[in-house]
Every structure is written in structure tokens, then in C-alpha cells.
């Protein structure tokens, strides 16, 4: 057991060292003949951050998840989803932290990010009930991308995004609860909690600035 723990620590240090070397190689491109190209005054943490940030490829989903109608913790969780950075069992098994890769919620398949948010029976139930409540079709894949492609009015799109991102956040919470305590909330209770979160965001709207069609939709789904 001790040998196994020591091996895991060595592997972890090895991964950290590779990450450090990767950053070093990245910043080499910012120098020419020993001169920092991004700022004539020389290197600083701020100029280094801006230099790296501008190198990053812009992604279309960024505007969807960093949305004023979405709770910041929900946006952050979804950012981790899109960055493939959640510590799901499939990932943990590949780096030797665990040996069981089955989904903590349904135990029906390998626990990957796509399985957890799109294919797990539990998450599919929750997303279906939330979409039915909002009078929209249940997407077959990533609901955030699907909603982002719809030509809906900003209010409807923003609220639907807030709802599905709340689903992803709470499914991840339930996954952790199932793994640690072996407990799982019933889907309808989870849906009710998500509805209350969305309602609290809608109450922040200035309804005098909302179009008649949006007010009709808000009334239809019980949000006004």
C-alpha cells in the first residue's frame, strides 16, 4: 500500500514538472535575443499574462457560459466541462488515482464528462424535465451549444442557458454526493431546486424593458 502511494506521489510530481516545462517552453517564444517582446520595460507578471492570453484561441462557447443570467459558480463548472478539466473517474483511472471507472450515479458506463452530462440516465432525466418545463426540445448532445445556436430572443436564450448550466452544476454535485456518501437526490427534487434558482435570476429582470413576446413566454413557463 505504501509503495502504491509513493508511486502515485512520484507520478503526480512528474505531471507537475511536465506542466512547468511546458510553461517554460511557451514563454521562450516571447523572448528574442534575451529581450521580452511584449513590453519594452521588460517582463512582468501582467505583461506575461496578457501575452499568453492573446495567444489563446478564441472559442465560441465563452460568451455562452460567461453570461450575466448565470450564477458564476455554474459558469465556472461549465468552463471546466468545456476545458475537459473535471476529475471524472475515466481521467482519475488514467493517471492511476483509482481503478473503478464506472459512473458514480448510474454505474452503467465509463464515467467521462460527456457521459455524465449527456448520456447518464439520471442527468438525461433532469435535463428532459427542465427542457419540458421551458417548452423547448431536449437536445441530444451538449445543451449549451445547442441553445447557443438557436435564433431565440436574448431573454429566452439567457434563461434557458441559466437553466441547463444549473443542471450541469447540480448533476456534478450529485455525482460527488453519490461517490462520497452513496446518496442521490430524486430528479424531481433537483428540478425544483433548479427552477427556484432560475426564478431568482428572473426576478432581477426589469420587466418594463422586456418585450411582450418575452413576457408571454415567461408567463407560460411560470417565471413571471
Whether 113 contacts 86, CB under 8 Å: yes
Q: What is the mean pLDDT of residues 60-75?
A: 91
Provide the 8-state DSSP code for 208.
Answer: G
What's the rounded Cα separation, in Å, for the pair 89 and 95? Answer: 10
Q: 116-143 burial string, b = 16+ CB within 10 Å, else e?
A: bbbbbebbbebbebbbebbebeebeebb
Instruction: Name the β-bridge partners of 102.
Output: 110
Helix (H, G, I), strand (E, B) or coil at 110: strand
Least confident of 89-98, 102-111, 131-140: 89-98
pLDDT of residue 199 exceeding 70, the answer is yes
pLDDT greater than 60 at residue 178: yes
Q: Mind listing the pLDDT tens digit for each residue in 7-63?
A: 556 666 677 777 777 767 767 667 666 666 656 667 776 666 666 666 556 778 889
Q: For residue 159, which of 67, 61, 60 has the smallest C-alpha distance? A: 67
pLDDT reported for residue 82 = 93
% residues pLDDT > 90 (the chain): 59
Q: Please tell me the distance from the alpha carbon of residue 66 to that of residue 63, in angstroms, as a whole number.
A: 5
Q: Give the mean pLDDT of 123-144.
A: 95
SS3 content of the chain, % helix, strand, coil (to 5): 65, 5, 35
Give the domain ranges of the chain: 2-55, 62-220
Strand pairing category for 35-36 and 31-32: antiparallel
Amino acid at each position: 500500500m505504501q509503495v502504491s502511494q509513493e508511486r502515485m506521489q512520484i507520478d503526480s510530481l512528474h505531471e507537475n514538472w511536465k506542466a512547468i516545462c511546458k510553461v517554460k517552453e511557451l514563454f521562450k517564444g516571447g523572448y528574442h535575443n534575451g529581450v521580452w517582446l511584449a513590453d519594452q520595460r521588460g517582463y512582468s507578471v501582467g505583461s506575461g499574462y496578457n501575452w499568453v492570453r492573446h495567444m489563446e484561441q478564441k472559442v465560441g462557447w465563452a460568451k455562452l457560459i460567461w453570461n450575466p443570467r448565470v450564477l458564476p459558480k455554474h459558469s465556472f463548472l461549465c468552463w471546466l466541462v468545456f476545458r475537459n478539466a473535471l476529475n471524472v473517474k475515466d481521467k482519475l483511472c488514467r493517471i492511476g488515482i483509482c481503478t473503478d471507472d464506472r459512473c458514480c450515479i448510474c454505474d452503467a458506463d465509463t464515467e467521462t464528462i460527456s457521459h455524465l452530462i449527456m448520456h447518464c440516465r439520471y442527468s438525461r432525466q433532469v435535463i428532459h424535465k427542465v427542457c419540458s418545463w421551458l417548452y423547448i426540445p431536449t437536445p441530444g448532445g451538449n445543451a449549451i451549444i445547442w441553445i447557443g445556436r438557436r435564433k431565440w430572443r436574448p431573454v429566452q436564450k439567457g434563461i434557458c442557458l441559466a437553466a441547463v448550466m444549473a443542471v450541469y452544476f447540480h448533476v456534478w454535485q450529485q455525482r460527488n454526493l453519490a461517490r462520497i456518501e452513496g446518496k442521490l437526490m430524486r430528479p424531481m427534487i433537483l428540478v425544483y431546486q433548479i427552477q427556484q434558482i432560475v426564478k431568482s435570476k428572473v426576478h432581477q429582470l426589469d420587466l418594463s424593458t422586456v418585450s411582450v413576446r418575452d413576457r408571454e413566454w415567461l408567463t407560460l413557463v411560470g417565471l413571471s
